[in-house]
Amino acid sequence: MPELPEVETVRRGLQPVMEGARIARVETRREALRFPLPERFAERLAGRRILSLGRRAKYLLAEIEGDLLLAMHLGMSGSFRIEGVEGSGAPVAGAAFHMARGEDRLHDHVLFHLEAPDARIVFNDPRRFGYMALIESGARDTHPHFRALGIEPTGNALSGEALAPRFKGKAAPLKATLLDQSIIAGLGNIYVCEALWRARLSPRRAAGTLVRIDGRPTQRLDSLALHIRETIADAIEAGGSTLRDYRQADGALGYFQHRFRVYDRENEPCLREGCRGIVQRIVQSGRSTFFCPVCQR
């Protein structure tokens, strides 16, 4: 599943084309993705301008004139393709890897036809786990998709001080705690493994051990918050990680997977200088966790 850096990369690819454009019409080729499309979906969007394109956790959020918010989730295999704009098929400047889009249009499910620029934004999703919702702009934070989401891991709001009350008393392992979307919004398996390696913390350590008795964060919790922010920032800079289905909006591949220090490196030597550990893989809550048992404590 695309994680936050991949979704943010897609947002940045779509933003120059979508922001400020008017939706001429919306073409829907099926009535439902993971969930049914909103009632009168195409009709409610036609003729309206896209004011901005943002992100919350793993959701793309298009602010539509008339106090509407279009929330879009990529699911497991969803992607957006830009058509009709000169240069839209070229790789992003600085991207090291690029793959042309396939010509199979069978899984093109929703097409946004835009005016000025004359372009199409195509949502393609072979597994149909993605979904879209229309929300009144002022109701986002109380909507079921958003009301329980935690702190964004991309700004200074994520700190040891902010995490301490959320971690205090928790016996759950760090890995499971960090994947809890009500604590930090948008973190996924790959980047949790990488951040824990950077912070030298074991994924099996109880989350509550990073909080002092008086409720203040330990230095290790401050360090963890910093490494989470840095890991996400580095992944966004690299265009995300390309594993299986993920592509950027212009077809370019992300390449953060070439910077993995621990994820998917089972039985390989730890890359930390001076460490003689071997990367192990364990299963936590049904997901693979990769870590070094020597330097991550």
Q: Active-site residue numbers?
A: 2-3, 58, 287
SS3 label, residue 21: coil
- Quickly count: other Cβ atoms within 10 Å of residue 277's Cβ: 15
Nearest to 196 by CA among 77, 85, 297: 297
Q: Quick one: tokens of 292?
A: 């070094």
Give the total residue count for the chain: 297
Long-range contacts of 155-163 (CB under 8 A, 24+ apart): 155/229, 158/184, 158/225, 158/228, 158/229, 159/217, 159/222, 159/225, 160/217, 160/218, 160/221, 160/222, 160/223, 160/224, 160/225, 161/216, 161/217, 161/222, 162/225, 163/210, 163/217, 163/221, 163/224, 163/225
Distance from C-alpha of 63 to C-alpha of 61, rounded to nearest angstrom: 6
Question: Nearest 5°: phi and psi at 208?
Answer: -65, -15
